[in-house]
Amino acid sequence: MHKTAIKSVLLLIMLLPAALLGADVELVFWNFWDPKFILPVIEQFEKDNPGVKIRNEQVNWGNGLDKIVVAMANGRAPDICELGSTWMGKFMAEGALLDVTDKFSDLKPAYLMWEPATMNGRLYGMPWLAGTRVMFYNRALFKAAGLDPERGPATWAELLEAAKLIHNPEKGRYGFGMNAGEGHILYKKFMPFVWGNHGQILDENDAFVFDSPQTREALDFYLKLKEYSYCEKQDLLDEAFKRGKLGLAISGSWNFARYPIDAPELDFGVALMPKPAKDKGFSTSFLGGEILVLFKSCKDPDAAAKFIRYLTTVENTLPITREALVSFPAHKDAYSDEMFSRDPRLGVFVEQMKTAIHPPVHRLWIELEKIINTTVEKAMYGEAPDAVFAEANREYERVARWQSVVRTAARGSIGVSAVTAGIGKSAEVAAPAATSQNGGSTQILLLALIGVGTLLNAVLLMFLIYEVKKKAG
């Protein structure tokens, strides 16, 4: 009697994990959002799709990319992951993501932002969110300076003039808010001036053409603007703007979630980014967003794709974006929402998004980003343009040479790369076999390492035993 009870309990304990594991597919979903926005969507999805479980895990912007990369290196990548669109170039080129061309291609007409999810004609992710930056201006300061408060600066000259008129540091008023002291995001603020002036980072053949008369002209203007600027980090610029100390600043829609609550009396307008001149160039801004991807190790790509299709619908994404207002859904239908008509200023973002440019989707983007940031930052701190552009070119040469060495080695050993991934199935099929072979040698190396570790440990133990014996004896 007693024994059977114990036995049945033991049996239950033994079977419990099996029951938990066996029944459902559990997909791990990494994202950067407050779980309170994501969990209700997941709950509803799980209700509609019995047998599929989604485990939500939040990562943060501070170290999210590190975590993803480390997890990938350890073979513990999540099944579904949210990636910043500027990271996509690297992840796609390195062959880390699952080709999802046949899973999402039919959605193309309904969504924006396909460019950062596409490489060599193949699709490696699903656009989720999109966002851009526009020109914020303080209407009260505009009025005080004798400027028209109903419209923002349309050209570079008007921007400079407005900043000049408002700038008065003695009275605690500054013309323009310029990002400084955070080198890693300068390109987002500077590149719109280059792009609008028909300048580029890479041309159609992927040659580095950053050093051009167009870019130099933009830099020249940017440095002139700096004379009438308050130089700080983004969050402190937003703070200064909120306190009515800044005339103009390039910022994002997240301020609409804060300014009306924190500073209801702040009278501000937003405008499209200024263009170089009335008859020259065009208004453009930085376009970025979030892409949902499946890693190659995804346990169930079909179920994951189903979840992504569910999550990216307007009904499920709009509530998330409405709360934080950091970015907007990539689904085009979202823009007919009353949120955009209620505040026409949000409509400016929609308008800007049409002309906004996404940075090059390139395997070297992370390195290119640094080159551009360094160039702008050094120029801002007084180095001559000739010197900084010369250094940018040198740096690009170095990076490209270094990477081509790595790439050649990579192609030789695992047979998958940006180029071969584009060729199609044959490379895809060939890759796993080659990988497992090389994986074998890595494993041997790891085993050897563990062996050495154990040996050293044993030595340490013997030493300890010896010491203890000596003391005792």
Partner 1 sequence: MIGKSRRIGPIEKSQQVLLFLSPWLLTFAVFWLYPLLFSLILSFCDYDVFHPAMFSFAGFKNYWRLLGDGDFMQSFANTLIFVVGTTPVTTLLALALALMVNNVSRGSGIFRSIFFLPSIISIVVTATIFKSMYSPIGALNRFLAIFGLPGQAWLIEKNLAMPAIMLMNIWAYTGYYMILYLAALKAVPRQLYEAAEVDGADEWQQFRYITLPQIHYMTIFILVVNTIRSWQVFPEVFTLTRGGPVGSTNTMVHHLYETAFRYHEMGYASAISYVLLAIIMAFSLLQMYVLQGRGRDGGSRR
* Residues at the contact surface with partner 1, assessed by CB under 8 A: 63, 65-66, 69-70, 72-73, 90, 94-96, 172, 180-184, 230-233, 236, 239-240, 243, 245, 366-367, 370, 374, 377-378, 381, 406, 409-410, 413-414, 434-435, 438-439, 441-442, 445, 449-450, 452-453, 456-457, 460-461, 464-465, 468-469, 472-473
- Dihedral angle sign, alpha carbons of residues 303, 309, 312, 314: negative
Shortest reach from residue 82's CB to partner 1, in Å: 18
| 336/457 with CB nearer partner 1 | 457
Shortest reach from residue 339's CB to partner 1, in Å: 31
Q: Hey, what are 209's tokens?
A: 């053409």
Q: Residue 122: what are its φ and ψ, rounded to 5°?
A: -105, 150
Q: Residue 465: what are its φ and ψ, rounded to 5°?
A: -60, -45
> Distance (Å, rounded) from C-alpha 417 to C-alpha 412?
10
Shortest reach from residue 397's CB to partner 1, in Å: 15
Partners of residue 250 on adjacent β-strands? 135
Shortest reach from residue 225's CB to partner 1, in Å: 16
CB atoms within 10 A of CB 92: 28
| 125/153 with CB nearer partner 1 | 125
Consecutive H or E run containing 284 = none
Shortest reach from residue 178's CB to partner 1, in Å: 10
Residues 6+ apart with CB under 8 A from 19: none
| 39/455 with CB nearer partner 1 | 455
Q: Hey, what are 329's tokens?
A: 């859904």
Question: Which of 186, 201, 213 lies closest to 393, judged by CA?
Answer: 201
| 26/367 with CB nearer partner 1 | 367
CB 368 within 8 A of CB 201: yes
Give the C-alpha distances (Å, rounded to integers) separating 164 from 52, 175, 217, 360: 59, 6, 19, 33
Shortest reach from residue 472's CB to partner 1, in Å: 4
| Sheet strands (E) in 272-309 | 287-294
Q: What is the DSSP letter of 194?
A: H
| 36/469 with CB nearer partner 1 | 469
| 56/374 with CB nearer partner 1 | 374
Angle at alpha carbon of residue 102, lines to 97 and 106, rounded to 5°: 120
| 53/411 with CB nearer partner 1 | 411
Helix 213-226 with 186-196: angle, nearest 10 deg: 120
| 243/354 with CB nearer partner 1 | 243
| 257/410 with CB nearer partner 1 | 410
Give the C-alpha distances (Å, rounded to integers) separating 188 from 227, 250, 356: 20, 10, 11
Long-range contacts of 298-301 (CB under 8 A, 24+ apart): 298/27, 298/79, 298/80, 298/98, 299/25, 299/26, 299/27, 299/79, 300/25, 300/27, 300/52, 300/79, 301/98, 301/100, 301/103
| 143/243 with CB nearer partner 1 | 243
Shortest reach from residue 154's CB to partner 1, in Å: 29
Shortest reach from residue 410's CB to partner 1, in Å: 5
Shortest reach from residue 187's CB to partner 1, in Å: 14
Shortest reach from residue 304's CB to partner 1, in Å: 21
Amino acid residing at 463: F
